[in-house]
A and B are shown apart, each in its own frame.
Chain A
Amino acid sequence: MRTSVEQRGNVSTVHIAGRVDGQTADALQQVLSGELEAGRHELVADFGGVDYTSSAGLRVLLATVKGARSRGGDLRLAGVRPEVLNVLELSGFTSILSVFETVDDAVESFGGQET
């Protein structure tokens, strides 16, 4: 799994590529927690390059959305492949996470405040 972080206004987009599972989820958690700890609470997880996510990845998403919302922000997903979306639906995550077709849509959903 590879990650990179892009800053657009107040919104941090974490681009994720590869497999999110028991072997890699801790690394993703560190990246997302790092953003929250740095005061960046409006997060987009770009899932466009994610091959699959297991429950380990779902735990990371849940912990991050709780952390972001408790600080007045949010975690929103973008570019999720249909197979991966099926995993989110099966797990009940589409009822608690906002999913957008593109990263641009997800970033703009935060209101587009520029700093």
Chain B
Amino acid sequence: MPTDVLMPALSPTMEEGKLSRWLKKEGDAVRSGDVIAEIETDKATMEVEAVDEGVLARILVPEGAEGVKVNTPIAVIAAEGEDVSAAAKQAGTAKAEAPANAGSAEAAKPDAAEAPGSDVAPRRPAEPVQAETELPEGVKTVTITVREALRDAMAEEMRLNENVFVMGEEVAEYQGAYKVTQGLLQEFGARRVVDTPITEHGFAGLGVGAAFAGLRPVVEFMTFNFAMQAIDHIINSAAKTLYMSGGQISCPIVFRGPNGAASRVAAQHSQDYSSWYSHVPGLTVIAPFTAADAKGLLKAAIRSPNPVVFLENEILYGQSFPVPDVEDWIVPIGKARIARPGEHVTIVAWSHAMFHALEAAETLAADGIEAEVIDLRTLRPLDAETIVESVRKTGRCVVVEEGWPQAGMGAEISARIMEEAFDYLDAPVTRVSGKDVPMPYAANLEKLALPSAAEVVEAARAVCYR
């Protein structure tokens, strides 16, 4: 059976082109891979190679023809042993061999594309809301630092699951640059507590590979500022692969370490990455404030089959909080916590900014303004429901964020409130954020660059018109 050679598309956007030259003439033998013609598009001159073998029976489109539409038959190839003149007579009626029974892209249109309205994305399915988890009533607690809570979370999960291991710079012999991994090497040995060279891009990628292959890496970045060298693996390799593999390859990895400003370490060591990572579908982003949440959420993160970015805070490491003294304290991912109930204004914060939110709430209370303080705990998935429910009650919202304002978490939360609680608002949603500058070094300037309780009080008063 003779085969039509069709005008090929040589780029995703090509619709037509010029047939500039034939390199074979009628009657020539053609082998698979032979260049038979040259085509000129608006971008380049390209070669057309034969896929089928046989004899070039007839040329249908002459040299120099312009505006030849993609998929137009341009020649006929007769199969080996076939009558060339008979094949040539059938010119233009032959079916292209591939795909069988589908000579044109038109005929090959897939079924699903026929569905009416298929250009409109279907609605995102609702995500189930998880249960609220306050510290259980009457539970026995112990007071420990956030640093100890994080260490305990890792140690407990390592005891439970042989596949959990910790890697990063100075996590083993040095006992952790911020002592978060203290004692892990002694308990679990060098096989499971791995000191890496200073090679963030490399070990982030290596961790992703280990996770693809079934391990549960906990990758420590000395600070998230250094993770910018590794961000390609966090996003392109870890976050997107489940989707790109049609659900085949999961990446159960935790990237953790201190995030945001510490004290007097200037612009390159003080960035808050909350909004950067929370932008990315496929990632889960957690930023705890209390030791109980740090422990319960890190354990949940290590158990999660998803890549998790776990944003800690250096100043919080030494802060002490009560933590339930129970065997397996887990805090569900994706659920905010109402840290202080109130009815006049909602204050949303997370991680270190919770100090400003809670201090501001105290000050406001003295003035008769009862603020409801929400600790987000998880930034992605964002517990918009808890925020919206609170705003429907208070009619006012102040978001406190240590990062920069543009495209920040505050901007996102503000948009969500507008979408879901616009009619309940009695004042514009207000952001108290890090100032729109690289972090300065000088003590006074650094203080000015970061949000403060006083700024939160001022913003809350403004939205309450007080």
Does B bind A?
no
Interface residues of A (CB under 8 A from B): none
Residues of B within 8 A of A (CB): none
